[in-house]
Structure 1
Amino acid sequence: MLYIIGLGLADERDVSVKGLEIIQKAERVYLEAYTAVLLVDQKQLESYYGRSVIIADREMVESHSDDILADAHEKDVAFLVVGDPFSATTHTDLALRCRQHEPPIPTRTLPNASILTAVGATGLSLYNFGQTVSMVFFTESWKPSSFYDRVAENAGLGLHTLVLLDIKVKEPDLKAMARGKIIYEPPRFMTVAQCASQMLEVEEEREQGVCGKERLAVGVARLGSEGEKIVAGTLEDLASADLGPPLHSLVLCGRKMHEMEWEYVREFAVDQAKFDRVWKAEYEGKG
């Protein structure tokens, strides 16, 4: 059987008791390490689990999944996922491959906390969230703005938008590849400040007011850990906010933000008077 096991958001202790028991008995244990990362390294996981872990990068999962699934119809294989197993379509694809395998490979999923639910720690109601979007690192020649259309749809309904920020783990250096060498770039993790700045940059082009300077937003970092941090303000405020080490996410507040949500979120504001002024002018009574 293939066990797809959610590890939660922070460290090695977030795994469920059921998940840990399976990990310790499985024939092989893989850790998917590119859609998200834990706040601890491989050695710390292995020490806690009491066994070795095979790192499964993007290439292995997407191009060599047969290696992961080998003998899984006869033996137990554990595939570990940061957060919740089905928060990323990558893991749905792996489960589908098990169904299509000959003979079919039985699967079992063990859920856990993910950013999709942990973001409720901001005080924003999960019932009031619309479509989740992703923000990638801009380059000089590539600044995709398709996220803006989904944010606009959410904004039209007064809903909050969770923005998942780009991470680059084991990304090949394209210039080196052109010379026939395989060299990987150092890991990079987008910050709330970078995300807010890119949203403001796209707003300058679109000019629809969806991601304007005075749109209220909440930045979060390392949710679920002892060092979690939450900062609220306008997008302009967050474009210069420092939330420390990764992982970061951002929520753009919908105009139907309830008074109870405002009362909770304002405690995280970098400038509470400004936050209250914008809320009363643009959000209060819109729900």
Structure 2
Amino acid sequence: MLTFIGLGLFDEKDISVKGLEAVQNADMVFAEFYTSVLMGTTIERLEELYGKKVRILSREDVEQYPGWIDHAKEKNIVFLTGGDTMVSTTHVDLRLRAQDAGIGTELIHGASISSAVCGLSGLQNYRFGKASTIPHPYTSSRGRTIVSETPYDTIKMNMEKDMHTLIFLDIDKKKGYMTVNQALELLLEVEGRRAEGIMDNTIAVGIARAGSPEPSVKAGYVNKLKEHDFGGPLHIVVIPAALHFIEAEALVKLAGAPPEIMYSTED
């Protein structure tokens, strides 16, 4: 049996009781922390709570050479990830590989950043469109710095459909954790080239350390919000579409948005 367990958002205590019992009853425990990271804990603290050795897998172990799942043919194996399990396509692929190998699977869900963003900001969950990720810029073979325009296009598409955009921020071993500030600067850079007005007079919401005792939640116009200090990682950004009056009130009262946004809302 291969059991996929979502660990939640911040530390070792976010795991569900069902998930904790499954880990403690497992023969082997594997985890990956390249798609998401629990910033409020360490591997040592996880192992202390579980009473089990946690084997950390690399991206290659999960995506290219997942031979470790063969252990699940004869043993109870658990696979741990931050947030909720199956949110990443990589995890779905693993489950399909297990099924093809005749291995039974089970899912134990954890808190997801997708729902936490709604709770922290007051934005309504059914109004979100396609999500996107802002990667760190990279240098081309010709020495040019390349900034992805895909997130900008996703925001534009969602705005045309009057839907909010959730934007995940890059985690890179060398470049580190992208911040809200860096993400907004990159969106403004694309706006500067394309001049389509997507980021003009636009409200954004930045959230840091969701699930921690002291998350940072701040909304404001992009040009001002990019100067706000959100503190340590992990960060995430939302670009809302037109706001319902309850959403606008929530952003003002819960996220410190400019009060004038309450006078330009949808019913």
The TM-score with structure 1 as length reference comes to: 0.87
Q: Deviations over 1:93-125 (max 9, x none)?
A: 100111111xx1000011111111111121000
Secondary structure of residue in 2 paired with 1:86: coil
Q: Deviations over 1:63-98 (max 9, x none)?
A: 2201x2123122110000100111111100100111
Kindly state the Cα deviation for residue 51 of structure 1 after the two structures are TM-superposed. Answer: 1.4
What is the rounded CA distance, in whole Å, between the counterparts of 1:129 and 1:70 in structure 2? 38
Does residue 224 (structure 1) correspond to residue 224 (structure 2)? The answer is no
Q: Deviations over 1:192-246 (max 9, x none)?
A: 111111111111112111122x200110011111021101101112211111110
Equivalent position of 1:132 in the other structure: 131
Does residue 284 (structure 1) correspond to residue 262 (structure 2)? The answer is no
The TM-score with structure 2 as length reference comes to: 0.93
Percent identity for Structure 1 against Structure 2 = 38
Kindly state the Cα deviation for residue 284 of structure 1 after the two structures are TM-superposed. Answer: 2.1
Q: Give the residue type in structure 2 aligned to 1:276.
A: P
Kindly state the Cα deviation for residue 157 of structure 1 after the two structures are TM-superposed. Answer: 1.4
What is the rounded CA distance, in whole Å, between the counterparts of 1:193 and 1:59 in structure 2? 30
Secondary structure of residue in 2 paired with 1:70: helix
Equivalent position of 1:179 in the other structure: none
Equivalent position of 1:190 in the other structure: 178
Equivalent position of 2:142 in the other structure: none
More displaced 10-residue stretch of structure 1: 52-61 or 261-270: 261-270
Kindly state the Cα deviation for residue 277 of structure 1 after the two structures are TM-superposed. Answer: 3.1
| 2:248 and 2:261 in contact (8 A); partners too | no
What is the rounded CA distance, in whole Å, between the counterparts of 1:46 and 1:134 in structure 2? 31
Mapping 1:1-287, distance limit 5 Å: 1-39=1-39, 40-66=41-67, 68-101=68-101, 104-120=102-118, 121-139=120-138, 141-169=145-173, 185=174, 188-212=176-200, 214-255=201-242, 257-269=243-255, 272=257, 275-278=258-261, 280=263, 283-285=264-266
Give the 3 Å change call, closer, same or farther, for CA 131–118 of structure 1 in structure 2: same
Kindly state the Cα deviation for residue 269 of structure 1 after the two structures are TM-superposed. Answer: 4.9
Give the 3 Å change call, closer, same or farther, for CA 269–75 of structure 1 in structure 2: closer
**Which structure 1 residue ranges, 5 or more long, are not aligned?**
170-184
Give the 3 Å change call, closer, same or farther, for CA 248–42 of structure 1 in structure 2: same
Q: Give the residue type in structure 2 aligned to 1:114.
A: S
| 2:181 and 2:225 in contact (8 A); partners too | yes
Q: Give the residue type in structure 2 aligned to 1:71.
A: H
| 2:130 and 2:158 in contact (8 A); partners too | yes
Q: Considering only aligned residues, what root-mean-square deviation do their CA atoms show, in Å? A: 1.5
| Count of residue correspondences | 260
Secondary structure of residue in 2 paired with 1:71: helix
Q: Deviations over 1:123-148 (max 9, x none)?
A: 00001111111111124522111122
